[in-house]
Structure 1
Amino acid sequence: SISTLKNRIAKIRPEYTSVDPVDRLVHEPGQAAQMDLWFPEPRIPVGFGQSMMLPVLVMTLSYSRVFNALMVPSRQGPDLTAGMWSLINNVGVVPKTLIWDRESAIGGKGKVTEIAAAFAGTLATRIILAPPRDPEFKGQTERNNQFLETSFLPGRKFTSPQDFNQQLAGWLPQANARAVRSIQGRPIDRLPTDLRAMTRLPPVPPATGFSHRVRISRDYYVRLDRNDYSVHPSMIGRLVDFTLTMDRVIGVCDQQVVADHPRCWVKHQVITDPEHVQVAATLRSAFNKIRRTTSSHVHEPVVEARQLSEYDKIFGLDGHDFLGDPS
């Protein structure tokens, strides 16, 4: 049958395919930085008695092999662009190319997403997506992921994402000062040459993180990234602009901060500012007092009631006996 024939051909086809040679790449200073997500196995405590496996954004400079990493709240585009900006800002200059695999928030369908393209445009760089099923395209950062797994994690415990990032930041200088066989030297020694060939940071930081405009209801909470955050009750009925960074949730109305909370990395939680609850209680008490005062001065209108005999006169039934002959 045709199915048997196709199966047999599929087995012998590799014997007739040509060889696909791989060249040794030459990385020019400042040319590229490889980006990837690393998922460490330990579950990190994130509050409210919960622990999660969180992604770590890893950036490796192709020429110097210097790498940096940062744990981020999620794989969503706003969080990834915020993480990229944090890593690039720490370097102080911008690589000419950012190499990504086909991460869904960056280019899952083979085309750079709108949020990633806007981020790259602000930094005057470009994003190159790796071919599908080709991890060697960004092998440097893949090897650094394995290096983090075997050299950073063992023997460590973490109490929060912030603790993870703090310990990682303290370990990275030591990692970048090690000797690397492929460059026959230390990454930190090649870093100045790499930085001189990169472009400057933009005069205005790129837009990163989540941005929402919400009209506040009587329930003075707003749902952002699947969590509810309280807002100053005086904003009920008004439009408030919210910004979610990796660390904070900030609401602004008329250039005034009306909500400021630490960002919760857990989902489906309620985060309340005690001051907002006190203000709500004061406003509710004043409203109830006004309502009682208004209701005490309002009298029921007096409605005149007609005598039943008046209706008999109107319908011409005056003096008639409804149970017998009127005569």
Structure 2
Amino acid sequence: MELYLKVRLACAEGLSQRSAAKRFNVSRDTVRKMLSYSSPPGYRRQTTPARPKLGGFIATIDGWLDGDRGVPRKQHHTAKRVFDRLRQEHGFTGGYTIIKDYIREREQRSREMFVPLAHPAGDAQADFGEALVEIGGVTQKAHFFVLDLPHSDGCYVRAYPAAVAEAWVDGHVHAFAFFGAVPRSIVYDNDRCLVAKILPDGTRKRASLFSGFLSHYLIRDRYARPGKGNEKGNVEGLVGYCRRNFMVPIPKFETWEAFNLWLEEQCRKRQSDKLRGESETIGERLVRDLAAMQPLPASPFEACDQTSGRVSSQSLVRYKTNDYSVPVAWGHQEVWVRGYVDEVVIGCRSEVIARHPRCWQREEVIFQALHYLPLIEQKINALDQAAPLQGWQLPEAFETLRRLMEARMHKHGKREYVQVLRLLESFDIADLQAAVEHAVDLGAISFDAVKHLVLCRVERIPPRLDLDIYPFLPRAKVEKTIARAYLTLLSDGQKAA
């Protein structure tokens, strides 16, 4: 550039091109170019380079690359694979470089262009992401729901064990409660939890749960083209932001609820950030978003999957490959099932008969021991082998009570022990444990005694046990007082003196 400047200045002062070429030791053509352009124009190719060895194979290469559109991306032709196939199948004698250059230029010509989008206040985008977390000491994959408000960049994040339809809806319900308003429209991808089918005309047939959710909140749903995440690029970028900033290092929490409360706090803190190119913070722009959004309805939508089933002969109801127990009194009945993200509720007609924590494994059996105690009381020989009681952790006092009952009443003692366990249907475990420990201390080894003691504990009255009713209470023999018996004490006292 310095030489360029010197030549132009010398010629401007009257030096001829011939003299300038001689003085600066450059050709006259170079001097002429320097005078024609105020700055070096750089090299400019006038014609497309000729590739005589490649020309006859371009149609074949284009056919292979066009066919890649219908196969997974990881199985597309690379330049090396095209080169190998041309040599083996078509006798190509050219080099690898011209193949690589042609494919690169072809990709540049076919690369998609995008239109910048404007995001009015009150609209949203939603998506799910994945990251590793540690919940209760177990490292597992978390599926985190993200709702983004592109106008303000306000966000809400909530994590779940699985990205099922219930999690999609539950995430929206919590997000709306977090913002205190409902977006006018939301952009989604074509997840199967939301879209049951894409019809030939491009319209979507929505999943039933999702359709009910949209109707409840009066949201206008919009969808990106399949495989075109750029059409909801704000939330796609936010998913990556949350993974890098909220989940590095791997989060460690005791429960999902504790993790989600922490995520909500991170979303609130982010509202004080000022993003690149913006003069206002996220929170300041969020005010305009909230003003354009719809008010919350009177009650939130119930985010649950609903189905029906029948109670089996083992008092189990199957839901999503897993079996959940119900009380044996409802055996062989038709029931309804509601699957929430954190629990499974089972009912018959208008009555709820069982609640269980949601199991996200497959082909598991989830028992609740209390459901089977009435049947075990009738079939007492099944007590030791009953699967619902395996792994049931009871305080040590219960095992002590069982040993004493069986030692004193044999088989009838087992039945009375089950009757004691059935008191958990009505009383808290802490109250029953205290009553059992009290009964063991008194030696009142019977169901009636334990029931009396736990009732007295709950009602806060002193216990009054009748020895005639409870024959296993220890008895003490109390003699009548005889006055002359004290003379012995007196005589002994005089001798001692």
Name the TM-score class by shorter chain. Answer: 0.7 to 0.9
Cα drift, residue 213 of structure 1: 1.6
CA distance in 2, matches of 1:18, 1:4: 19
Cα drift, residue 18 of structure 1: 9.5
- The gaps in structure 1 that reach 5 residues or longer are 286-327
CA distance in 1, matches of 2:118, 2:300: 31
Query: Equivalent residue for 2:289?
Result: 194
Query: Equivalent residue for 2:279?
Result: 184
If you compute each CA radius of gyration, which structure gives the higher value, 1 or 2? 2
Query: Equivalent residue for 1:67?
Result: 155
* Higher mean displacement: 189-198 or 58-67: 189-198
Compared with structure 1, are the counterparts of its residues 26 and 278 closer, same or farther at alpha carbon in structure 2 (3 Å cutoff)? same
Superposition CA RMSD, Å? 2.9
Query: Equivalent residue for 2:119?
Result: 27
Does 2:240 correspond to 1:146?
Answer: yes
More contact order relative to length (CA 8 Å, sep ≥ 6):
1
Compared with structure 1, are the counterparts of its residues 13 and 227 closer, same or farther at alpha carbon in structure 2 (3 Å cutoff)? same
Alignment deviations for residues 176-233 of structure 1 (CA, whole Å, 9 cap, x no partner): 2222224332222222321121122334544532112222122111121232211111
Q: Secondary structure at the match of 2:148?
A: strand
What does residue range 281-296 of structure 1 map to in structure 2 within 5 Å? 281-282=376-377, 284=379
Q: Quick one: which amino acid aligns to residue 29 of structure 1?
A: A
Q: Secondary structure at the match of 1:213?
A: strand
Query: Equivalent residue for 1:104?
Result: 192
Compared with structure 1, are the counterparts of its residues 157 and 228 closer, same or farther at alpha carbon in structure 2 (3 Å cutoff)? same
Instruction: Specify which structure has the higher proportion of helix.
Output: 2
How many residue pairs were aligned?
Answer: 280
Q: Secondary structure at the match of 2:145?
A: strand
Q: Quick one: which amino acid aligns to residue 213 of structure 1?
A: S
Compared with structure 1, are the counterparts of its residues 246 and 16 closer, same or farther at alpha carbon in structure 2 (3 Å cutoff)? closer
Compared with structure 1, are the counterparts of its residues 71 and 283 closer, same or farther at alpha carbon in structure 2 (3 Å cutoff)? farther
Compared with structure 1, are the counterparts of its residues 283 and 208 closer, same or farther at alpha carbon in structure 2 (3 Å cutoff)? farther
Alignment deviations for residues 22-44 of structure 1 (CA, whole Å, 9 cap, x no partner): 22x222111x211111101x254
CA distance in 1, matches of 2:275, 2:108: 37
Query: Equivalent residue for 2:169?
Result: 81
Q: 2:196–2:207: 8 Å Cα contact kept in structure 1?
A: no
Q: Quick one: which amino acid aligns to residue 126 of structure 2?
A: M
Q: Secondary structure at the match of 1:94?
A: coil
Q: 1:72–1:80: 8 Å Cα contact kept in structure 2?
A: no
Q: Quick one: which amino acid aligns to residue 76 of structure 1?
A: V
TM-score by length of 2: 0.51
Compared with structure 1, are the counterparts of its residues 244 and 137 closer, same or farther at alpha carbon in structure 2 (3 Å cutoff)? same
TM-score by length of 1: 0.75
* Higher mean displacement: 125-134 or 9-18: 9-18
Match of 2:270 among 175, 190, 195: 175
CA distance in 2, matches of 1:118, 1:3: 56
CA distance in 2, matches of 1:15, 1:179: 35
CA distance in 2, matches of 1:18, 1:220: 60
Compared with structure 1, are the counterparts of its residues 21 and 165 closer, same or farther at alpha carbon in structure 2 (3 Å cutoff)? closer
Q: 1:54–1:72: 8 Å Cα contact kept in structure 2?
A: yes
CA distance in 2, matches of 1:2, 1:279: 85
CA distance in 1, matches of 2:206, 2:127: 16
Q: Quick one: which amino acid aligns to residue 191 of structure 2?
A: E
Q: Secondary structure at the match of 1:37?
A: strand
What does residue range 260-279 of structure 1 map to in structure 2 within 5 Å? 260-279=355-374
Compared with structure 1, are the counterparts of its residues 242 and 15 closer, same or farther at alpha carbon in structure 2 (3 Å cutoff)? closer
Aligned residues with identical type, % of pairs: 23
Compared with structure 1, are the counterparts of its residues 204 and 45 closer, same or farther at alpha carbon in structure 2 (3 Å cutoff)? closer
Alignment deviations for residues 27-71 of structure 1 (CA, whole Å, 9 cap, x no partner): 2111x211111101x254479xx6531311100012221100111
Compared with structure 1, are the counterparts of its residues 46 and 210 closer, same or farther at alpha carbon in structure 2 (3 Å cutoff)? farther
Q: 1:112–1:129: 8 Å Cα contact kept in structure 2?
A: no
Q: Quick one: which amino acid aligns to residue 68 of structure 1?
A: Y
- The gaps in structure 2 that reach 5 residues or longer are 1-54, 66-102, 199-203, 381-497
CA distance in 2, matches of 1:239, 1:198: 43
Query: Equivalent residue for 2:207?
Result: 114
CA distance in 2, matches of 1:247, 1:19: 43
Q: Secondary structure at the match of 1:20?
A: coil
Cα drift, residue 95 of structure 1: 0.9
Cα drift, residue 17 of structure 1: 5.8
Q: 1:131–1:137: 8 Å Cα contact kept in structure 2?
A: yes
Instruction: Specify which structure has the higher proportion of strand.
Output: 1
* Higher mean displacement: 64-73 or 181-190: 181-190
Cα drift, residue 84 of structure 1: 2.1
CA distance in 1, matches of 2:113, 2:237: 22
